Amino acid sequence: MNRKSVSFSVLSGKGGVGKSNLALNICYGLHLLGRKVLLMDCDMGLANMDVLLGVTPEKDMQDILINNRNPSEILIPFGPGGQSGLDLLPANSGMAEFVDLDTGARSILREKLNPLAATYDFVCMDIGAGISPTVLSFAAMSVLRLVVITPEPTSLTDSYALMKVLSARYDVSDFQIIVNLTDSRDEAKRTYNRLSAVCKRFLGFVPAFLCEIRTDRSLVDAVRKQRPLMELSPRSPAALDCMAAAEKLDRLRDALPGTGDNNPPLRAVRVLE
């Protein structure tokens, strides 16, 4: 199939900012736009996407490395009514040996995943928080990088550190910022402006503003019911914001070059000396 496949990672400097929920619901929004979407749980030590969806995987991402499983054997469809075209590639939780994969294991995983990834319009990588080698490598593999922040000062400082390390070690300087758990667009823009000003002054680049996601009690209810917010409460404030994020990503995809043998969805990682 001749398909343009674009990967994007969802990452954050610190945990607890709602990153996985946003990844899940933005993917759901992209599917509602008619896109075929693969959601990969790339938090190899503390995976939780299966919990958010209320599913119990029989196989997971680690089986690709341990048991040489084909990634297509691991997929769990979670589109409306359980339809395919919106699929989860789950990971396992509590396996300390997979928290930091070595360079060889990450390369093997990328090579095994690319043929499957190339059959989707979008490949979303939900990555663990922080600046571990596995987090940084997965982020560098993706075509687009969505950094989730909140108005809390610790979120800003940790996200700045994440972008600083990715820029210095992997020559990555294109980031899309999502301001989550905000009370208003004005607060979101103030938060983004603080972060972008520091990046411009000390890192020499300005990350783009993708969107804000408003604080929404409906999201708490969706987590408890283990269903995507976009399915449970599609007209809630946060769901509407996630849909707006999906629409912006879809427009960004149109401006990117097509996928081919020399331009796979998951890129080879080059570390600067």
pLDDT digits 0-9 by tens, 21-37: 999 999 999 999 999 99
Question: In this model, does residue 131 exceed pLDDT 60?
Answer: yes
Question: In this model, does residue 62 exceed pLDDT 70?
Answer: yes
Predicted local confidence at residue 78, as pLDDT = 94
Structural domain including 97 reads: 6-254
Predicted local confidence at residue 100, as pLDDT = 72
In a domain, 273, yes or no: no
In a domain, 47, yes or no: yes
DSSP the chain: -----EEEEEE-SSSSS-HHHHHHHHHHHHHHTT--EEEEEE-SSB--HHHHHT---SS-HHHHHHS---GGGT-EE-SGGG-SSEEEE---BS-GGGSS--HHHHHHHHHHHHHHHTTSSEEEEEE-SS--HHHHHHHHHSSEEEEEE-SSHHHHHHHHHHHHHHHHHH-----EEEEEEES-HHHHHHHHHHHHHHHHHHTS---EEEEEEE--HHHHHHHHHTS-HHHH-TTSHHHHHHHHHHHHHHHHHHTSPPPBTTB-SSPPP----
In a domain, 31, yes or no: yes
Question: Residue 114 — pLDDT band, cuts 50, 70, 90?
Answer: very high
Q: What is the mean pLDDT of residues 197-219?
A: 97
Q: What is the mean pLDDT of residues 235-254?
A: 97
Q: Pairing relation of β-strands 76-77 and 86-89?
A: antiparallel
Question: Residue 1 — pLDDT band, cuts 50, 70, 90?
Answer: very low
Q: What is the mean pLDDT of residues 1-21?
A: 90
Residue whose C-alpha is closest to residue 42's, from 117, 103, 96, 92: 92
Question: Residue 38 — pLDDT band, cuts 50, 70, 90?
Answer: very high
Question: In this model, does residue 98 exceed pLDDT 70?
Answer: no
Q: What is the mean pLDDT of residues 198-219?
A: 97
> For the chain, what is the mean pLDDT?
92
Question: In this model, does residue 110 exceed pLDDT 70?
Answer: yes
In a domain, 133, yes or no: yes
Question: Residue 82 — pLDDT band, cuts 50, 70, 90?
Answer: confident
Question: In this model, does residue 260 exceed pLDDT 80?
Answer: no
Q: What is the mean pLDDT of residues 35-45?
A: 91
143: domain CATH number is: 3.40.50.300
In a domain, 271, yes or no: no
In a domain, 195, yes or no: yes
Predicted local confidence at residue 40, as pLDDT = 96
Question: In this model, does residue 66 exceed pLDDT 90?
Answer: no
The predicted-structure confidence for 154-194, as pLDDT tens digits, reads as follows: 999 999 999 999 999 999 999 999 999 999 999 999 999 99
Range of weakest confidence among 11-25, 78-92, 193-207: 78-92
In a domain, 263, yes or no: no
Percent of the chain whose pLDDT exceeds 70: 96
Query: How many structural domains does the chain have?
Result: 1
In a domain, 268, yes or no: no
